[in-house]
Amino acid sequence: MRRALRWLDRKPGAWLGFGMLLLFATEVRSPVAVLAWIAPLPCLRYLRLTPGWRPRLLFGVALFAAWTLATAKIASEPRILALAPLFALPIAISQVLAYLTWDRLRTRVAPWIATCVFAVGLASTEWVLHHFTPFGSWGATAYTQLDDLPLLQVASVAGIAGVAILVNATAAAIESALASDASARPTLAAVLTASIASHAAGTVRLALADVAADRLVTVATVDTDSDVGGLPLPSKELTHDWDRVLLSRTEEAARSGAALAVWPEAATLVWPEEEEDWDATIRSAAMRDGIDIVAAYVVPESTSPFVYRNEFRVFLHDGTVAPPYAKHHPVPGEPARAGVGPAPIIAREWGRLSGAICYDYDFPRMARDRAGADVVAVPASDWRGIDPVHAQMAAVRAIESGHSVVRATRFGLSLAVDPYGRVRGWRSAFEPGAGEMITQVPRSRVSTPYAFWGDAPLAGGVILLSALIVQRLRRRSIFSSGAVAQERATQT
């Protein structure tokens, strides 16, 4: 082991290549979860061993290339592949800033502070991306751990930032210990202890999360035959066929005992002149079948340029129709008119219902806006490249805000999860035999600290860490100035 480390230290470029390989293996799709805990280590080692601006420029270029390749893993057609660099660029830029901040401060502060700088820095850049860019939380460290449900319970307290801090602090602490710095060993011990404790606490939370049978509601996701995706538009005859199939499958879901049916995003295309009649038809079906329907569809507004409304309406079995909800976050490049306004929360006899559309739930704040809901319906439309990771990302939103999520997905995985992210039912659109998924989810939300305070702990950590760094640097400066003054006085 020591011989291998010495060989790598003599060839820093090998550290960089190893780091890029780990990044590719752990990010975006099919993550190798355990490798994410050490993935930043080679990059940190490379920066420690290589002085000057040229290695840092090379590091930035390599990071962008690795993120482009990692993003390309979700591409299933040339159009999506061409967007890979566009998605990769803001992630790479933000991460370079976090790495270089660590590199700048690591020789000026204690090892434990440097470790915190790196971990909190990366978590902060992820926060900036999903708050201020249209790319959502794609690339977040927490999504490398989608199969580690005990660890993901951290998100109920500190959001995905909390998971990112644990994972990235582990890599930074190990790297610092490898630098033969004895003072870094307590930091590594503390980080490993925090990780083990988080897993243990998550395991206990899941073990205590039994739901009584009378606190469940039966829900359904309804498959669609729609393949609408752009120009040319389908014929009216074809869309009418889709409509009949949707209503038939919804009726079957009601016969199976479902109180709620959720259609996928773009479950059908509705012509503007037929929208009023179509809504009346769904309303009648909801009343006849005694089921609440979250009916998602698109309405073309223009073909030159191509623009459509991507929305859903909630049709209640008592005849009430909620106002339409339009997708708030169209995917970059999607020709949809973005929606505005608050999240709908509708009181039902079985609980409080809310909803969002697909990409909306890539933004953690969208789930916090629905923290008062018990069940959130998420009509969605995916593609092979992001299946099933995109559905699993929505499960993290359930953990953060403590509500059940029913995600009906076209071209992907339909998923129902409870407020702890546990799967209650799933169905792949790629499996033969289209129809409905019938399952039960808790109809009572779980209060979470994250739903209450959001990312305030991350902001507090940034402020506290910044103040600590300033204090340490000032003390170092005063000490250095005093030493210089004393030396001059001695010479005089």
Residue predicted with more confidence, 317 or 492: 317
What's the rounded mean pLDDT across residues 293-313? 95
What's the CATH fold of domain 213-450? Nitrilase/N-carbamoyl-D-aminoacid amidohydrolase (3.60.110)
Supply the pLDDT for residue 211. 76
Arithmetic mean of pLDDT, 346-364: 97
Q: What is the pTM of this model?
A: 0.93
Average pLDDT value for residue range 439-453 = 96
> What local confidence, expressed as pLDDT, does residue 1 receive?
63
DSSP-derived secondary structure for 348-383:
ETTEEEEE--GGGGGSHHHHHTTTT-SEEEEEEE--
Q: pLDDT band at 473, cuts 50/70/90?
A: confident
The percentage of the chain sitting over the pLDDT mark of 90, rounded to a whole number, equals 82
Q: Would you state the pLDDT for residue 65? A: 96
pLDDT at res. 479:
56
Residue 335 has pLDDT above 70, yes or no: yes
- Does 9 have pLDDT greater than 90? no
Secondary structure letter of residue 101 according to DSSP: H
For residues 408-429, average pLDDT: 96
pLDDT reading at 404 higher than 90? yes
Can you list the pairs that 316-325 forms with residues at least 24 positions away whose Cβ atoms lie under 8 Å?
316/286, 316/292, 316/346, 316/348, 317/286, 317/287, 317/289, 317/290, 317/291, 317/292, 318/287, 319/283, 319/286, 319/287, 321/279, 321/283, 322/346, 325/355, 325/356, 325/357
**Residue 490: per-residue pLDDT:** 55
Give the pLDDT mean for 465-484: 76
H/E element, 3: helix 2-10
Which pLDDT band holds residue 481 (cuts at 50, 70, 90)?
Answer: low
Q: How confident is the model at residue 169 (pLDDT cuts 50, 70, 90)?
A: very high
Q: Domain limits of the chain?
A: 2-208, 213-450
Averaged pLDDT score across all residues of the chain: 93
Over residues 368-379, the mean pLDDT reads: 96
Helical (H) or strand (E) element with 18: helix 12-26
Query: Does pLDDT of 346 surpass 90?
Result: yes
Can you give the pLDDT at residue 488?
53
Per-residue confidence (pLDDT) for residue 484, from 0 to 100: 43
pLDDT band of 269, cuts 50, 70, 90: very high
Q: What is the average pLDDT across 14-33? A: 92
Judged against a pLDDT cut of 90, whether residue 175 lies above it is answered with yes
Residue 384 has pLDDT above 70, yes or no: yes
The alpha carbon of residue 330 and the mean position of all alpha carbons in its chain are separated, in whole angstroms, by 16
Between 150 and 78, name the one with better pLDDT: 150
pLDDT score for 489: 53
What's the pLDDT band for 132 if we cut at 50, 70, 90? Answer: very high
